[in-house]
Amino acid sequence: MGKTIEKQKHEIMLENQIKVSFLYHSGFLVELSDTIFLFDYYKGVIPKLDSKKSIYVFSSHRHPDHFCFEIFALAEKYPNVKYILSRDIGKKYKKKYMMEKKGLSEETYSLITYLKEDELWEDESVIVQTIVSTDAGVAFLVQEKQKKRTVYHAGDLNWWTWEGETKEEYQAMTKKFKASMELVRQKLQSMDIPCFDVAFVPLDPRQKERYAMGFDFFMRNIPVKHVFPMHAFGDYSVIGKLMRDELSKDYRDKIINICGQEKRKVKILNPEMRRRVKELLNR
């Protein structure tokens, strides 16, 4: 698997036995008692996985910082792998290209399910709901059936507003983003659970002074226990910036503040979260 076989772990254990490993950028590994979710991997080190668990690999869209072909090597290493990919990936990379140019076998290709926006899919273990993105592809709402632990991964669903844009561009993006957030709220409510156990939400320093608009809107409108900022392109200082910002005072205790380089373990800077993790590890 090339770059995915090195020894590296950026892990945190949350309550309800949810282990989250930060890989890079928007790539996260979520491990539950019987299932593993891998989201938007393209860089970083995937730790050794439990071959007895069902593994679900999600790619929210075709952009190279959210999707790469290395994910298909997991099917050669583990027996219970399924790929849940946004339909735009299948439109860009046809079956013939994947098999002839990228070396996928017929068996591996058969493990792929392509989902369009606002589509519901389920099997014996999980329920997956997609939400239309404000960029490419979809966001994922994923619920484990056994204990109803529920995860949200935004992909590139964000309030993408930029300095210098026109009033019309701002209004169009705002309308689209808020409509998608309303769909997230409705779909979560339809799952008959009070909140997401964990969410992964963009916090992009390239937006400069508007860096937290989408993140802040999500936190004020979507119930969630823990949230991991993502999509920072390695600039983890933007998370600390938000933690210090008066904007986050009502929800900063829910933020997992990760920082560090590839060869270091993730450091948790949120004091309240450090206390909770310490309690969990000492049980």
pLDDT band at 272 (very low <50, low <70, confident <90, very high): low
Q: What is the pLDDT of residues 34-70, one digit of tens each?
A: 999 999 999 988 999 999 999 999 999 999 999 999 9
Q: What is the pLDDT of residues 159-192, one digit of tens each?
A: 999 999 999 999 999 999 999 999 999 999 998 8
**The predicted structure's pLDDT at residue 262:** 36
- Global confidence as pTM: 0.88
Which domains, ranges and CATH numbers included, belong to the chain?
A: 2-281 (3.60.15.10)
The CB-side HSE value for 113 (13 A sphere, CA atoms) comes to 16
pLDDT band at 273 (very low <50, low <70, confident <90, very high): low
Indicate the helix (H) or strand (E) that contains 140: strand 138-144
Q: What is the pLDDT of residues 96-126, one digit of tens each?
A: 999 999 999 999 999 999 999 999 999 999 9
Taking residues 219-240, what's their average pLDDT?
A: 93
**Are 178 and 158 spatial neighbours (Cβ–Cβ below 8 Å)?**
no
Rounded distance, CA 208 to CA 187, Å? 31
Residues of 214-229 as b/e, b for ≥16 C-beta within 10 angstroms?
bbbbbbeebebbbbbb
Q: What sign for the dihedral angle of Cα 122, 158, 23, 224?
A: negative
**The predicted structure's pLDDT at residue 202:** 97
Identify the residue with better confidence: 281 or 202.
202
